[in-house]
Structure 1
């Protein structure tokens, strides 16, 4: 097991910058997830760590070894792909043995490792079957088993659950959590699924346009986004954004949105005091929008029952719409007139031009370092 360090890592494909000078510390035994939209550079970053792509610039360390010039098989990593890449003509046991046999590992050691991994993943009874005889979840376990028997320093996983149905994905997320607790192997995981990122990671790195936008504890990143992209990407439904001009009224700061004025809570005034006259964006998550008799008037335009919650789309006037997440027992129907209130303890304020948070507070002990440009 080992930590992984990326230092000013860059990857270009001709004129396309896929990874743009990122720096990141991945602690030993951590479960770090790269998350972001398609094309953000997360898979390319994983392939650079694996040695499947060569870095244009920057350095990659696994433990205390700089591995830029090491081939994939020299890096002591094991990969699990979106495509499980099992040999169809080999049995499960033969698929799990194959990599060790290629490295000349003693047969007795191979047998012991395969038996241990099969027992851990509860696939003992599948060892004599071929991949075509397995379900998607079983093939996933075999692919994990093939990686586990390698006993690598680092596991690299590229969207390994994306081919599974929704119920099985939930089950496999739980299995991966248990597996990491038992093995404690440093794991780097790539996904576009924010739920996977939030539930699996002890450290997430949110990427966009080849850069790391924010990195840290998932709960902290969710509650304290550094910019509008992170705030918008994490959360379902995503955060609401309302733009207006910051003005001063007596001893208060007020965001003039047009159809309504939003008074800035006292706890944010010092951070925003120097921005009077600027256009800023107020952010509030749907779960922090509540129905209150004395709140802002709104028209219910959409009602989306989702079982554990109901999502409302609300028109506040002047084409300003927001979403609210309410209890399913709340009696709201299409075209109802309601009143809403923002939870003043859970607000975010962003620069309207740059998207940077104006009220972000960094954690006291950051786990990693975002890239700076």
Structure 2
């Protein structure tokens, strides 16, 4: 078993707390992605697992064994770095063999592992070249191969695709998915790219301020954010937020956000009970905004064709929203359009950022119903 368990993990650098009480269970054979903005503590957490940093407090277990006092080379892990860290004076074959030679592995076993990894990564014809003769993608494959031949219990990957161009990153993401399917080795992957996290991980842990904000399958976290930070961080474009005052009108909740009065669907009434007369924020993702003849009037500020979709920047009074709509919809800058929100995909947030509609027991939604929430125009936008 090669599960990784972090319990109340803390790492302090002088007066800076980089990791602040992180607890995380990483299941055996899972592909878990630590994702968050720069400085959130994700790379430090990875380095603590690797043994490259010593924890100030807390516990780290790999395969149910406490490893806090073990040096990096004593932990059964292999790490792939952002800069590949290949020895320039060695051939590809020598780079892949080096770690095994240092551990005194039998020569025949080394040769067999290198050949198998080279076949898996399709770099057999590169084994006699040096790193300077390789492209960025080929160097990345060599770095992966060097990790694979170790046959570790855990792979640790620190933004390994960040130096590649956009097209090659997409290609390598697919290759990493295939590699994990073939090897089934527990993998902990760090990235700041939320699209990369969503497409690679079977579980994502979103970090901010040295703490884990939410953990779960990517689509579940996306559809069911625990707080406003998670809702805002995931998605491109990110979620729209409309802040207003919550009140009751004939027993129903109404959120006054300036240009509109948003009538809260009955399905969310229990979640918002107790927040009357408080500031509440409505959150709706761009793909959950549609153009409908009887919706809320808005003005198109910008039209951004993106191939498979068109992103509209819209002025709703003094509020600015983004909507992702089907390509080819005949809209231009300064057009007046009407908007509506998918009632099954709305979120509400308290002033402290917590999501009032978050469900700990939520399951992935397989379909969106297309049902929409009622709004009433109280004043037209410019």
TM-score, normalization by structure 1: 0.96
| 1:161 matched residue in structure 2 | 161
Contact 2:100 2:110 in 1 (8 A): yes
Q: Secondary structure at the match of 2:47?
A: helix
| 1:137 matched residue in structure 2 | 137
| 2:350 matched residue in structure 1 | 351
| 2:339 matched residue in structure 1 | 340
Instruction: Kindly report which structure 2 residues correspond to 1:6-17, keeping only aligned pairs within 5 A, or say none.
Output: 6-17=6-17
Distance in 2 between residues matched to 1:165 and 1:364, nearest whole Å? 36
Distance in 1 between residues matched to 2:239 and 2:179, nearest whole Å? 33
Q: Secondary structure at the match of 1:340?
A: strand
| 2:63 matched residue in structure 1 | 63
Pick aligned residue for 2:359 from 358, 361, 365: 361
Deviations 1:247-285 (A, max 9, x none): 000131100112110000010001112111111000000
Q: Secondary structure at the match of 1:270?
A: helix
Distance in 1 between residues matched to 2:216 and 2:261, nearest whole Å? 34
Equivalenced residues, count = 364
Q: Secondary structure at the match of 1:275?
A: coil
Contact 2:220 2:362 in 1 (8 A): no
Question: Relative contact order: is structure 1 or structure 2 higher (C-alpha 8 Å, sep ≥ 6)?
Answer: 1
Distance in 1 between residues matched to 2:329 and 2:275, nearest whole Å? 38
Query: Structure 1 residue 5: deviation in Å?
Result: 0.1
What value does the CA root-mean-square deviation take over the aligned residues? Answer: 1.0
TM-score, normalization by structure 2: 0.94
Distance in 1 between residues matched to 2:330 and 2:320, nearest whole Å? 20
Deviations 1:317-370 (A, max 9, x none): 0x2111001111100100001110111110000002x1000010013699xxxx
| 1:195 matched residue in structure 2 | 195
| 1:328 to 2:333 alignment | no
Runs of at least 5 residues in structure 1 that lack an aligned partner in the other structure: 367-373
Q: Secondary structure at the match of 1:55?
A: coil
Q: Which runs of 4+ in 1 moved over 6 A?
A: none
Query: Structure 1 residue 309: deviation in Å?
Result: 0.8
Contact 2:224 2:362 in 1 (8 A): no
Query: Structure 1 residue 231: deviation in Å?
Result: 0.2
Distance 1:114 1:234, change over 3 A: same
Query: Structure 1 residue 66: deviation in Å?
Result: 0.5
Q: Secondary structure at the match of 1:171?
A: helix
Distance in 1 between residues matched to 2:187 and 2:196, nearest whole Å? 14
Instruction: Kindly report which structure 2 residues correspond to 1:210-229, keeping only aligned pairs within 5 A, or say none.
Output: 210-229=210-229
Instruction: Kindly report which structure 2 residues correspond to 1:181-192, keeping only aligned pairs within 5 A, or say none.
Output: 181-192=181-192
Deviations 1:207-264 (A, max 9, x none): 0000000001111000000000000000000000000011000131100112110000
Instruction: Kindly report which structure 2 residues correspond to 1:307-318, keeping only aligned pairs within 5 A, or say none.
Output: 307-317=307-317
Deviations 1:28-56 (A, max 9, x none): 00000000000000000000000000000
Q: Secondary structure at the match of 2:358?
A: coil
| 1:371 matched residue in structure 2 | none
Query: Structure 1 residue 98: deviation in Å?
Result: 0.1
Distance in 2 between residues matched to 1:172 and 1:290, nearest whole Å? 34
Distance in 1 between residues matched to 2:81 and 2:97, nearest whole Å? 18
Contact 2:11 2:20 in 1 (8 A): yes
Deviations 1:287-339 (A, max 9, x none): 0000011111101111111111111111110x211100111110010000111
Runs of at least 5 residues in structure 2 that lack an aligned partner in the other structure: 365-382
| 1:97 to 2:97 alignment | yes
Deviations 1:82-126 (A, max 9, x none): 000000000000000000000000000000000000000000000
Contact 2:241 2:282 in 1 (8 A): yes
